[in-house]
Amino acid sequence: MKRRTVPWDLVLVALVAVAAWFVPEAMKALFGRASISYLSLVINALSLAVLALSWDMLARTGQLSLAHAAFYGLGAYTTALLLKHLAWPIWIGIPLGGVVAVGFAVLLGSLTLRLRAIYFAIATLAFAEVLKSLVHNLPTEFAGGNAGMNVAPLFRPQFVAGQMERWEVAFLRNEAYFYVYAGLLVATVLASIVLQRSRLRHAFIAIRTNEDVAGVMGVRPARVKLLAFAVSSLFVGMLGAVEAHRVGSVLPDQSFAVATTVLALVTPIFGGLYTTLGPIVGAIGLSSVQELLKRSLSEGYLIGYGLVLVLSILFMPRGVVGVIGRALRRRRTNAQRRAIAMAGGGAPDEGASEPGAPPEPPARPGGTA
């Protein structure tokens, strides 16, 4: 009978989700009025984590996509157009933004996912630029043209005299958005864990290692990559819709900005590719760096991201999570060596073979091995 193991990753996600429920009020109690700014920084980190983790889902198949800005912009413009022309319920635009992004991803993937390496990257980048140009040239009365469109906020807390201070209105707004972004990140993390725990994980690795060999072994690379592309676009499309409501407007150059793709690319590389934890760790680190760079370099902060990317590739090819994992494995190996040496009654031998390695063969008569 197969022994069932506890899904510790899902347990950890549940615990973190419960703990996140108390974060806004804890920040309010600790920082008071300043909690508005700190909560905004946390929201930015959550947004970056969703962006990075959704990009990483496709990267696990070995495909370098530069279309994340396109899906982000599609989600943003979907909710804006629905509110302007159809007056649908405000929350409907968020899931529909993801659905529209998936539809375009399936269309784009069907045409381009047979391309590989730099050719696929160029095709996806061109797709994002074509969409931005198309939105620029749509009739102003339909999509706002270069001036864009205003988007209604999801939350409008009201000031109650005598029961709250005025700054608390901004805090309540950020608190509500915090829960929306946290929920979107939890959904993205659960999708990533499901992919990692399913057979698709092995299919992703096989395609990333050698797509031709994977096809011979029974994997259907085109279908698997298309599925990963669709899942990846779903969450970034929803993120774009939420961001449109939070910012309050959509603009072609803002919604389809190349910077969005750059962030999606740099963050998993910095945190650790092909993992669920890596993009989240990268988002926490880089969101702090982003705020510092924006304040010091203003419009030139993308130069800092370029430097981070280069340094990460040179000195941390497996990202922060890879460095930490390697250090923990080395520590565990050294502990095993010491335990084996103590059990044998001798001092640990630094030149000893790894635990579990086959023993040295006995020497042959005559002194030759």
CA-derived radius of gyration, the chain: 25
Angle, vertex CA 46, rays to CA 43 and CA 51, nearest 5:
125
- Cβ atoms of 256 and 143 within 8 Å: the answer is no
Which of 308, 291, 311 shows the shortest CA–CA distance to 45?
A: 291
Q: What is the pLDDT of residue 344?
A: 72
Tell me the C-alpha distance between 271 and 253, whole Å: 28
- Alpha helix ranges (H) inside the chain: 8-20, 23-31, 35-59, 68-81, 93-112, 117-137, 140-143, 167-197, 200-209, 211-216, 221-247, 252-255, 258-271, 277-297, 301-315, 319-343
CA 91, distance to chain mean position in Å, is 23
Please tell me the predicted confidence (pLDDT) of residue 71: 97
Q: How far apart are CA 116 and CA 239, in angstroms?
A: 27
Domain boundaries, the chain: 8-256
Distance of CA 222 to the CA centre of its chain: 23
The 8-class DSSP code of residue 115 comes to S
Q: What is the pLDDT of residue 302?
A: 67
Taking residue 111's Cβ as centre, other Cβ atoms within 10 Å add up to 11
User: What b/e string do you get for 34-64 counting C-beta neighbours within 10 Å, with b at 16 or more?
Assistant: ebbebbbebbbbbbbbbbbbbbbbbbbbbbb
| β-sheet bridge partners, residue 250 | 149
Are the beta carbons of 222 and 112 closer than 8 angstroms?
A: no
Burial of 255 (0-12, 13-18, 19+ CB in 10 A): buried
- pLDDT means per 10 residues, the chain with 369 residues, are 69 90 93 92 95 95 94 97 90 96 96 88 94 93 91 92 87 96 96 94 94 91 95 97 96 93 89 93 87 74 72 83 89 88 64 46 43
Q: What is the pLDDT of residue 259?
A: 87
E strand or H helix at 5, and its extent? none
Residue with tokens 């981070």: 308
Taking residue 99's Cβ as centre, other Cβ atoms within 10 Å add up to 15
Distances (CA, A) of 340 to 96, 99, 329, 337, 348: 59, 56, 16, 5, 8
Residue pair 113/107 in contact (Cβ under 8 Å)? The answer is no
Kind of pairing between the strands at 249-250 and 149-150: antiparallel
